[in-house]
């Protein structure tokens, strides 16, 4: 599928002027809708702490939809299977190579599937661990040791991986961190305040990085 020039024009006329975040809906049966309070809480935190003015009710966009070009950043999470068909692969590739950004938060069990599907989008690129001195860790909030640990699953260290296209970070993947669980309403996981704050601050850094780069 060849990308229509209209896609790029839509992107240039809307993404670069929009300050919104959307939730990515994908095929495969995985729970793309997991953590329903997470992104609204992150948006509220950003509006209060880094001077954004985002709608606190985020839109859902399908991976294959042209509507994705209306958002500078889309958020993806879940626990299970992910599948991008040919249309979604081409759409995501065009989105991410023309200024769009994808944040993936492994909510435990997503890793095997998402790595396989992102490989379809960027067959010649690999996820790379993002160095601690990268600007995404040093926006309004500093994270000297990279992405923080929010929830324990396999007793592994948290890692922030990225896809770099022509030297630019276009996808941030938090692994063994579970940032989005930390954004949820306090009653969902009963996380301590300081843990939730770390998660929200790192999430705000990602938003700020996307909006200012």
The pLDDT value given to residue 190: 78
- Using DSSP's 3-state secondary structure scheme, residue 118 falls into helix
Structural domain tally of the chain? 1
Q: For residue 10, what are the contacts with CB-CB under 8 A and spacing of at least 6? A: 66, 69, 70
Spell out, as residue ranges, where the chain has pLDDT lower than 50.
1-17
DSSP H helical segments within 27-151, as ranges?
Answer: 38-49, 86-96, 111-121
pTM over 0.85: yes
Q: What is the pLDDT of residues 173-209, one digit of tens each?
A: 999 998 999 999 887 777 899 999 999 999 999 999 9
The pLDDT value given to residue 141: 98
The pLDDT value given to residue 6: 46
- CATH number, domain with residue 72: 3.40.50.12140
How are strands ordered across the β-sheet holding 159-165?
A: 59-62, 21-25, 73-78, 101-106, 168-175, 159-165, 128-129
Q: Which domain holds residue 73?
A: 5-212
């Amino acid at each position: 599928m060849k990308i229509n020039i209209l896609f790029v024009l839509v992107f240039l006329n809307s993404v670069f002027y929009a300050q919104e975040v959307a939730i990515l809906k994908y095929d495969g049966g995985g729970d793309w809708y997991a953590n329903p309070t997470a992104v609204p809480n992150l948006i509220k935190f950003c509006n209060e702490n880094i001077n954004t003015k985002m709608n606190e009710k985020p839109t859902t966009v399908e991976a294959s939809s042209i509507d994705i070009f209306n958002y500078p950043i889309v958020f993806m999470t879940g626990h299970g299977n992910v599948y991008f068909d040919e249309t979604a692969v081409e759409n995501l590739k065009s989105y991410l190579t023309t200024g769009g950004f994808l944040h993936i938060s492994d909510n435990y069990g997503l890793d095997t599937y998402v790595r396989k599907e992102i490989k379809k989008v960027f067959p010649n690129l690999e996820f790379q661990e993002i160095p601690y001195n990268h600007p995404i860790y040093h926006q309004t909030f500093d994270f000297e040791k990279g992405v923080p640990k929010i929830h324990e699953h396999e007793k592994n260290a948290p890692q922030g991986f990225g896809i770099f296209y022509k030297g630019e970070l276009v996808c941030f993947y938090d692994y063994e961190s579970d940032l989005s669980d930390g954004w949820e309403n306090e009653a969902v996981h009963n996380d301590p305040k300081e843990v939730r704050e770390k998660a929200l601050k790192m999430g705000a850094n990602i938003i700020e990085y996307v909006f200012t780069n």
